[in-house]
Amino acid sequence: MRHEHCERIQPICPLCWINRQSVSVLRLSQVARQDGEDIVEGALLCPERMCQREHPIIDGIPVLLANPASWIENQLPYVLRRRDLTGFTESLIGDIAGAGSALDRERGNNGIYAHAHWAPDSPAYLNVFNAARDLLAVPPQGLWLDIGCSVGRGTFELAAAAGDLAVGVDLNFSMLRLAEEIRRTGRARYARRRVGLAFDFIDDPIPELPAGNVSFWCTDVSSLPFAAANFQGAIALNMIDCVPSPLGLLCEIGRVLKPNSEAILATPFDWATGATEVASWLGGHSQRSPHEGSSLTELRRVLSPDCAAGIDTGLTIEAEADGVKWRLRTFERAVTEYDVYLARLRRKAN
């Protein structure tokens, strides 16, 4: 994170926002380690007298959560994970830890998404991103938000397209750290599963990155720590079926966008109970209903101007595309392929 990015983004305390709907703009209270313009370790402080919550900056990533204790309990191994081990030692530890271990899951997931985003021979992520960009009514400009940024390719692409600051947010610290390492070093370093516990160690140079115009933040995308009407646009690619509250995510997108601005939503509607309880899915169940369980019909309903359910996300659908290919390499002999639906959303003018 850079100091000027914090000044531009004006993050707010998520705890104050959830508890009292009060906008307490955080201030940089301490810098413990700095590398040039980059704040690597430090803290952001809530100035509210009844709060005074400190939010850590770890490996250049601000962690802004209403319940950081719960997050750290689940992600502490990834926060403390060393990144300086040789491939030999990491392979040895991986064999000892075994299949299904925390290390195996982390390396496997990071490798899947890093390959999709950054491998020179993989058009997977750019397929979806380019389709999203082409669906926009006007090219990106101003401050943009990449919701569920994963390992960061979309955030860099937005910064390059807009020529301005792009902010990537995700809850997965391990993926954010990989994205931040790419920003600071210009290299994509990750392990990619070949078969079983055998991984190939990738270290690819990534040229011409707009590193000065990218910032990564760790936060809950259903409770974004940003003031209302702060962003000129947003993308949420393959995200709405990966959060506890899809409606909450849509409402947050509507809240943080400036009036009359655009967002792109992309999803294969791949609902899973591990991410979202069935009751919160948009479609995907209740096939006895008039829409026969159609997720697309339900999404269109909740985003229609005359939605009868009393839901007002502040967003309406302006344009759609469908059947965009999203291919994820899981290991050398396996690929998962999705047909992705995309919608251009417009933030209402009032």
Query: Which amino acid type is present at position 159?
Result: A
State the Cα angle at 218 between 217 and 221, rounded to 5°: 100
Which residue is associated with the tokens 């081990």? 85
The tokens describing 90, both together, are 């990491």
CA distances from residue 258 to 25, 193, 264, 347 in whole angstroms, order as listed: 18, 42, 14, 7
Q: What is the pLDDT of residues 287-308, one digit of tens each?
A: 888 888 899 999 999 998 776 5
Confidence of residue 232 (pLDDT cuts 50, 70, 90): very high
Q: How buried is residue 51: exposed, middle or buried, by Cβ count under 10 Å (0-12/13-18/19+)? A: middle
Separation between Cα atoms, residue 155 and residue 167, nearest integer Å:
6
pTM for the structure as a whole: 0.95
Residue with tokens 């115009």: 213
> How many separate helices (H) and strands (E) can be counted in the chain?
10, 13
E strand spans, 138-177: 144-147, 166-170
Confidence of residue 320 (pLDDT cuts 50, 70, 90): very high
Q: How many CB atoms lie within 10 A of CB 154?
A: 28
What is the tens place of the pLDDT at every residue in 36-84?
999 999 999 999 988 999 999 999 999 999 999 999 999 999 999 999 9
